[in-house]
Amino acid sequence: MKIPFSPPYINKVVLQEVNSTLESGWITTGPKVKQLEELVCKYTFSPNTLCVNSATSGLMLALKWYGIGEGDEVIIPAYTYAATALAVIHVGATPVMVDVENDFNISIEKIEKAITNKTKAIIPVDIAGWPCDYDAIKTLVCNKIELFNPSNENQNKLGRILILADSAHSIGATYKNQFLGSIADITVFSFHAVKNITTAEGGAVCINLPKPFINQEEYYYLRCFSLNGQTKDAFTKSKAGGWRYDIIYLGLKINMPDILAAIGVAQIPEYFDETLDIRKEIYKVYHDYFATKTWAITPPYKNEYRESSCHLYALRIKNITESIRDLIIEKITKQGVAVNVHFQPLPMLTIFKEMGFKIENYPIAYDNYKCEISLPIYPQLTKDQLNYIIRTVENAVESTI
C-alpha cells in the first residue's frame, strides 16, 4: 500500500470553481480574491483579511506595516519553519530565537527574558495547528510597556510590542472558543499546497488591531502596499476609464491571483462544515491508539482553552536518539507510508548556524525534534489506510527500540 504524506484536497467543487474563473477571462487579482477574503473573515471572525501570495509575504508585509527594520528585534521560537525567521531578516530586523515548551509552542518564560527596548514584535507559531497561549503573551507585552520604544506612527498608536501570529498551520483552531484570526493583533495563515485549506500557494493576513486603529483603513493600506504601492489593482484599472493610477508607497508585489483564490473559495465552506471534522476524527484515532503505547508521546489536541486544527499529527517516541528516529522513519517508508519531521529547529540549519545560533541553547526544541515523526492526516484517508499507517508505525517502532 502506498500512502502519500499530504496530497492536496481537490474535488469537483474546486474544479468547477477554477474552471469558472478560467472561463471568466480574469485570472489575476480581482473578484475571487475579494470573495476569499470575505470568506476568511466570515469563518474566522477576523475584522478584515488581505490575501497575498504566501504566508511568508504576509509576515513581511505585517512587519513592514509596523515599521520594523534595521536595529529592531523580533522574538520568534527556535522550533518553526525557516520562513518565520526569514521574514524578519528580509525586512532588515534581527530575529531573537527562544526555546519552546513540550507542546512545541514558544515558551512564555523565554519570551519574557528575551524582551529588550529593541523588541518590536513577537511572532508566536501555532505548531501543527495547536494554538499558542495568546492571553499569556498579551499580558506579558502589556506588562513590558515601559520597555517599548516606538519609532513611528503605528508603533505609537499601538503603544506596545506587536503580536504577529504565524498561524500557517492553524486555520480552524480555537483559543477560548474563538477562532484564530480574531485573537492576535495580526494573524497570518498559509494556503500552501500541504495546508488544511490550499490555494496551491498563498496566504491570508487577518487584521485584528485594537482602537484607535480602524482595521478597514489598515486593510486598504496593506492592499495597496501588496500591489507595488499602486492605488488601483489590475481589475479596477481594466474598467472603462480606469487606466489612471498612482504609486504612493514603496510597496511589494505579493498579491494573490484569482485563479489560485478560486481553489480556496471552493474549499473554505466545506472545510469548516465537514473536512475539519474529518481531520479531527483521524487525529483522534491516532491519539486513542498511541495513547495506549508506553513508548509514545501524543501531541496536544484539545483542552479547556484550546483545540487544534489538526494540521499535523506530531507523534514522538520516548527516550530515543535522532539516529534511531531516522531508522524508524526508514522502516516506515519502506512499507509505503510517507511520513515527515516537523521541524528541524532553526539553529540546526546552515544559514542560522552561520549567524551564531547554536542548538545547544535550545534543548527543548532539540528534544522535541529528535524523536518526532509526523504522520499522514488528511480527509482522503480511508479507514484501511489509517489502520495500515498505525500498524506500520507500531511495527517500525517496536522492532527498533
**pTM for this structure?**
0.95
Residues 6+ apart with CB under 8 A from 261: 21, 32, 33, 35, 36, 51, 199, 202
Rounded to an integer, what distance in angstroms lies between the CA atom of residue 14 and that of residue 222? 28
Full 3-state SS string of 63-124: HHHCCCCCCCEEEEECCCCHHHHHHHHHCCCEEEEECECCCCCECHHHHHHHCCCCEEEECC
Residue-wise pLDDT for 263-283, tens only, equals 999 999 999 999 999 999 999
Cross-sheet strand order for the sheet of 313-317: 296-297, 313-317, 372-375
Residue 233 has what pLDDT? 72
Rounded to an integer, what distance in angstroms lies between the CA atom of residue 329 and that of residue 269? 35
Find where cell 496530497 sits. Answer: 7
Residue 237 has what pLDDT? 56
Fold of 12-269: Aspartate Aminotransferase; domain 2 (3.40.640)
Interstrand relation of 203-207 and 48-52 (parallel, antiparallel or unpaired): antiparallel
Residue 399 has what pLDDT? 95
Rounded to an integer, what distance in angstroms lies between the CA atom of residue 79 and that of residue 363? 11
Mean of pLDDT values over 44-55 = 98
Answer yes or no: are the C-beta atoms of 361 and 352 closer than 8 Å.
no
Mean of pLDDT values over 337-352 = 97
CB atoms within 10 A of CB 210: 11
Residue 247 has what pLDDT? 83
- Report the share of the chain in percent with pLDDT over 70: 97
Higher pLDDT: 329 or 242? It is: 329
As given in the structure block, the three cell numbers for residue 224 are 495597496
Return residue ranges of the chain for CATH 3.90.1150.10.
274-399
Q: Which of 45-54, 57-66, 238-247 has the lowest mean pLDDT?
A: 238-247
Q: Is the pLDDT of residue 162 over 80?
A: yes
Phi-psi region of 6 (alpha: psi -120 to 50; beta: other; left: phi over 0): beta
As given in the structure block, the three cell numbers for residue 41 are 473573515
Higher pLDDT: 250 or 373? It is: 373
Return residue ranges of the chain for CATH 3.40.640.10.
12-269
Residue-wise pLDDT for 304-322, tens only, equals 999 999 999 999 999 999 9
Q: Is the pLDDT of residue 345 over 80?
A: yes
Residue 238 has what pLDDT? 58
Nearest to 283 by CA among 301, 265, 269, 267: 301
C-alpha angle with apex 88: 300 to 212, nearest 5 degrees?
A: 85
Active-site residues: which are they?
A: 195
Q: Which of 12-21, 221-230, 270-279 has the lowest mean pLDDT?
A: 221-230
Residue 234 has what pLDDT? 62
Q: Is the pLDDT of residue 164 over 60?
A: yes
Q: Is the pLDDT of residue 245 over 90?
A: no
Answer yes or no: are the C-beta atoms of 256 and 199 closer than 8 Å.
yes
Q: Is the pLDDT of residue 240 over 60?
A: no
**Confidence band (pLDDT; 50, 70, 90) for 242?**
low
Q: Identify the CATH class of 274-399.
A: alpha beta
**Average pLDDT of the residues of the chain:** 96
